[in-house]
């Protein structure tokens, strides 16, 4: 055992990485492919709110 129990999470939208688990301002959402949950960083979660409203066009990025 290394004692390193940090959880690395990656933003599903922009790929930002958080080494100590998702920060409180990140959001968790169900994966569209039904493979569990994915994390979205604070900035992207705001963007996603708009994108979801607009049917999530992949071209916005």
What residues line the site for Zn ion (CB under 5 A)?
11, 13-14, 16, 41, 44
Q: Is 55 exposed, middle or buried (0-12, 13-18, 19+ CB in 10 A)?
A: exposed
Residue 10, sorted as left (phi over 0), alpha (psi -120 to 50) or beta, turns out to be: beta
CB closer to Zn ion out of 9 and 11? 11
CB closer to Zn ion out of 9 and 41? 41
Token couple for 1 = 């055992």
CB closer to Zn ion out of 14 and 49? 14
CB of 50 to Zn ion, least distance (A): 14
């Amino acid at each position: 055992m290394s004692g390193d129990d940090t959880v690395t999470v990656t933003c599903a939208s922009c790929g930002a990485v958080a080494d100590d688990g998702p920060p409180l301002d990140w959001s968790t959402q169900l994966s569209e492919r039904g493979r569990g949950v994915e994390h979205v960083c604070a900035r992207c979660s705001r963007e996603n709110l708009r994108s979801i409203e607009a049917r999530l066009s992949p071209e916005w990025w």
